[in-house]
Amino acid sequence: MIGIIDYKAGNAPSVLNALHRLGVPSSLVSSPDGLRAAAGIILPGVGSAKATMDSLKDMGFIDALEERVLKQGIPFLGICVGFQVLFEHSDEGDVDCLGWMPGEVKKYPEDMVRVPQMGWNEVKFVRRHAILSSLNDSEFFYFVNSYYVIPRDENIVLAKTRYGIEFCSMAAYKNMCAAQFHVEKSGAVGLKVLRNFAWMAGGKHC
């Protein structure tokens, strides 16, 4: 079963619907206890990094996530803001984040591009990974974001995208994968990513 964290600043129902279209056993998780039965965890995100961190703290998720993801090593997927909060600090709300990946989150330079980025953009994969199974060397995904991550370790970068500047649009580190784009809103190619994640978590590989 894939557990999708359902918190006040999230986009969990859309991710759940996408997994159900694939026939992947999944459910919304609204309390830390609900993570115990999950074979994989997805942290979706809509809104700000600060609101996301505040919600995770208020609902008691931080310790439970660290236990399941960092200590027990079950597969984890972060989406959009759920990607950004994996890093150490975000300028969005000047907030310290989970710190599971080395790096920080900055706002796009508004003198270069329209903020937020909203729409389809090309994602170029810089190395192969199980979550990219059956995908081409580059694919188009749907983005809605005003901020982007700057990893301190280039080895965790999985994909890059250009929006005024080139930025990391996907990362993978140990049992964790994360994407800046919305896989659940990216049509057939986004469903492939979710399908691959379910396979990594020992679920149904459609």
Return the DSSP state at 86: T
**Active-site annotation holder among 97, 139, 177, 182:** 182
Crossing angle for the helix pair 12-22 and 187-200, to the nearest 10 degrees: 80
To the query of whether residue 182 is one of the catalytic residues in this protein, the response is yes
What residues form DSSP beta bridges with 160? 124, 168
**Active-site annotation holder among 88, 184, 205, 206:** 184
Give 70-116 pLDDT, tens digit per residue: 999 999 999 999 999 999 999 999 999 999 999 999 999 998 899 99
Asked if pLDDT for residue 46 goes beyond 90, the answer is: no
**Active-site annotation holder among 20, 80, 89, 206:** 80
Q: How confident is the model at residue 10 (pLDDT cuts 50, 70, 90)?
A: low
Q: What are the structural domains of the chain? A: 2-200 (3.40.50.880)
Give 48-61 pLDDT, tens digit per residue: 999 999 999 999 99
To the query of whether residue 168 is one of the catalytic residues in this protein, the response is no
Asked if pLDDT for residue 205 goes beyond 50, the answer is: no
Asked if pLDDT for residue 184 goes beyond 80, the answer is: yes
To the query of whether residue 177 is one of the catalytic residues in this protein, the response is no
Q: Kindly calculate the radius of gyration of the chain based on its CA atoms and give it in whole angstroms.
A: 15
> Residues 193, 194, 200, 203: is their CA dihedral positive or negative?
negative
Q: How far apart are CA 15 and CA 67, in angstroms?
A: 23
